[in-house]
Amino acid sequence: MGASIIFSRDDSIEKIEDKFQSAFVNGSYWDAFGDLLDAVFLPNYPKLHEIIKSEEGEYLKFYSFVELDKEEFNQSVKLIRNYIAKQNNPTEWQKMAQVVWNEIAEPYIIQDERYQPN
């Protein structure tokens, strides 16, 4: 089972399938990244959690950064980066989540027009 992480939307593009920038994540890596999002957002940022990790359908599973405004987007990026940076001895599961963030999510994040370094 796999699913998509949706990063941004370009409404100037007419074809619906080309409007969204997204990446496909498979199996356990998907679950590990979901657990990372829960750990980062659930304790103190439930609103951000609800936006990014909204209810999943039976067949369509996704995490979405599309609905975040510029401030929420950059706050989310900072919270995820800080959380990962504080993991001194990450478990294998946490390492899988880090792979998703570093190798799949991060390249899309820094290309997004809402992104502000620092």
Edge-to-edge order in the sheet of strand 20-26: 20-26, 2-9, 62-64
Q: What is the pLDDT of residue 105?
A: 86
Q: What is the pLDDT of residue 94?
A: 97
Q: Which residues contact 26 (CB under 8 A, 6 or more apart)?
A: 1, 2
- Tell me the residue type at 47: K
Q: What is the pLDDT of residue 15?
A: 59
pLDDT per residue, tens digit, the chain (118 aa), is 456 565 555 556 565 555 555 556 667 888 898 899 999 999 999 999 998 886 665 555 678 888 899 999 999 999 999 999 999 999 999 999 999 999 888 888 888 888 998 7
Residue 49 burial class via C-beta count within 10 angstroms: exposed 0-12, middle 13-18, buried 19 and up:
middle
Cα distance between residue 21 and residue 73, in whole Å:
15
Cα distance between residue 102 and residue 47, in whole Å:
24
Q: What is the pLDDT of residue 71?
A: 96
Q: What is the pLDDT of residue 23?
A: 59
Cα distance between residue 102 and residue 81, in whole Å:
9
Taken in order 98, 103, 105, 106, the sign of the CA dihedral is positive
